């Protein structure tokens, strides 16, 4: 694979998947073996890597995407590239540049993800989704930040379902024991929690404001990751609770709107707000 030089400064570099979503709507979920008539069909731009990259770009980050798209008789791949360019995402292969944030997920081959994490010299965020029952420990150890939601944290650690802060504390502690340098667990309406290997007995909760109405939670985690990457690239001197709090707000905005990338805000949400936090 040839790598071309950066044509512009890049703050957030995403190595991940670029996928077109095909969504069928029906009155209910089908039973096993049952066929249902749908009443609505939509396509949308998705893939965890592309979602996170677009979320960061809409916040204002200078982003670049490393991925594969289809090259064939149909137009899906070329259309997606055009869409990413409209979102101001650099779709050229780029060299590593000091100060970038690398974002990875589990929709790409694990060996390629591990190689990318090991080769990268800046801050890296590994979003362990889709979650694995037995996540290779070298992947957990390779990233600067290991970020999962409550379901993924429970599956990765083998802990009970995480529905309370005390459960989250167990998950944080377990992931640090598994070799993670820094851990963030997103908790939906509860916000997010984090802990670091530098201070493994200190657990921080960053709450999120109440959402008036939840419309669609699809892509909220990707919105959080993209916003987190943007804030870490632009405001690295701020404390983590500020960076995570800002990402919480972007995710909260996302769940109030339909679709995946369509639900991501353009520009920062609640810019300049001081976000609350507490030890738990």
Say which residue the tokens 């589990």 belong to.
Answer: 106
Q: Which residues contact 91 (CB under 8 A, 6 or more apart)?
A: 64, 65, 81, 84, 85
pLDDT of residue 43: 87
pLDDT of residue 269: 87
Catalytic residues: 222
Rounded to an integer, what distance in angstroms lies between the CA atom of residue 148 and that of residue 172? 10
Query: How far is the CA of 182 from the CAs of 118, 185, 252, in angstroms?
Result: 16, 10, 23
Q: Positive or negative, the Cα torsion across 74, 76, 81, 87?
A: positive
Q: Which residues contact 198 (CB under 8 A, 6 or more apart)?
A: none
Secondary-structure breakdown of the chain: helix, strand, coil percentages, each rounded to the nearest 5: 35, 20, 45
Rounded to an integer, what distance in angstroms lies between the CA atom of residue 183 and that of residue 54? 23
Say which residue the tokens 């939509």 belong to.
Answer: 42
Rounded to an integer, what distance in angstroms lies between the CA atom of residue 200 and that of residue 205? 14
| H/E run at residue 157 | helix 150-157
pLDDT of residue 94: 35
Fold for domain 12-25+41-279? 3.40.1190
Q: Is the pTM of this model over 0.95?
A: no
Average pLDDT for runs of 10 along the chain of length 280: 55 89 88 84 90 96 84 72 90 57 94 94 93 93 97 92 92 97 97 97 96 95 97 93 97 96 91 92
Q: Where are the domains of the chain?
A: 12-25+41-279
């Amino acid at each position: 694979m040839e790598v071309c030089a950066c044509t512009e400064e890049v703050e957030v570099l995403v190595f991940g998947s670029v996928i077109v979503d095909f969504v069928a709507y029906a009155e209910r979920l089908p039973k096993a073996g049952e066929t249902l008539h749908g009443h609505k069909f939509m396509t949308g731009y998705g893939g965890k890597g592309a979602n996170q990259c677009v979320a960061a770009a809409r916040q204002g980050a200078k982003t670049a995407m490393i991925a594969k798209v289809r090259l064939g008789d149909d137009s899906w791949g070329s259309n997606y590239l055009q869409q990413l360019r409209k979102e101001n995402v650099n779709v050229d292969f780029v060299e590593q540049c000091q100060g970038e944030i690398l974002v990875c997920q589990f929709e790409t081959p694990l060996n390629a993800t591990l190689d990318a994490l090991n080769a990268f010299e800046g801050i890296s965020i590994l979003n362990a989704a889709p979650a694995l029952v037995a996540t290779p420990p070298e992947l957990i150890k390779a990233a600067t930040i290991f970020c999962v939601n409550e379901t993924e944290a429970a599956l990765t650690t083998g802990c009970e379902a995480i529905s309370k802060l005390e459960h989250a504390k167990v998950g944080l502690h377990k992931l640090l024991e598994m070799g993670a340098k820094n851990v963030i667990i997103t908790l939906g309406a509860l916000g997010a929690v984090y802990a670091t290997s530098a201070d493994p007995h200190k657990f921080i909760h960053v709450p999120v404001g109440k959402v008036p109405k939840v419309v669609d939670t699809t892509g909220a985690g990707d919105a959080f990751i993209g916003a987190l990457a943007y804030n870490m690239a632009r405001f690295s001197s701020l404390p983590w609770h500020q960076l995570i709090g800002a990402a919480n707000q972007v995710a909260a905005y996302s769940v109030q709107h339909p679709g995946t990338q369509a639900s991501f805000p353009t520009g920062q949400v609640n810019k300049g707000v001081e976000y609350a936090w507490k030890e738990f």
